Structures are given as C-alpha cells and as structure tokens.
Amino acid sequence: FFPVFKIALPGYASYTNQFAFIAGGWGIAAFTFGIGRIWASYKFEFYWFMVILGLLEGVILSLYCLINVFFLEISLLQVILPLSVGSVYGVFYFIALLFLLRLDKSN
C-alpha cells in the first residue's frame, strides 16, 4: 500500500498500483509459505498450527486481492488468479480444519 501513502521505495522511480499489487502478493505468499511448511510437516503436533496458518493465508490473500480491486483500481482480471488461489486455499484448509475437529472429538 505504499502508493496510497505516497512513499517511494529505493530503486523504484515509478511505483504504480499494479507493481504494489504484485509486490504485496509475493510478500504475502513468501511470508506464509516460509513460516512452517517444512518445519511442521512431519509432526502431528503441528498440524493444527499449519491448518490455521493455511486458513489465514487463504483468507488474507483473498482479502488483499479484493482490497486492491476496490481501493487501488487494480482490474479484476489481474487479481483473478491470486484471488482464486486464495479462495481455494481458504476452502481446503477450512475442510482440513473440520476434519481435525472431527478427529479430535473421536479421540
């Protein structure tokens, strides 16, 4: 959201809304993918953490796309891929959360 605050980044003379969208999307993906996928994938104790993290990832990515469409005038065509990926992540991790809740109740 740097263009909204009129803050320039070093090395980027023209920091457009489209560039901000791409940079922010990559930032969200890099942050959420790197937080614990490899670290937690082999231990059942961390499955809850990973499911919650994945659910947040999907929701945040989807909301980020929608915010950019409405406030930074990014076209819906530009956000359709990350919006669909975020939505699918959100739905799949919500289903995983339901399975974990059911598994927890049975134990």
Question: Interior CA angle at 98 toward 81 and 47, to 5°?
Answer: 80
Question: Which of 7-11, 14-18, 35-39, 68-72 is least confident?
Answer: 7-11
Checking if the pLDDT of 11 tops 70, the result is no
Cα radius of gyration rounded to whole Å, the chain: 17
- Return the pLDDT at 1: 44
Distances (CA, A) of 23 to 48, 84, 94, 100: 29, 18, 27, 34
**The pTM of the whole model exceeds 0.75:** no
SS (H, E, C) 41-66: CCCHHHHHHHHHHHHHHHHHHHHHHH
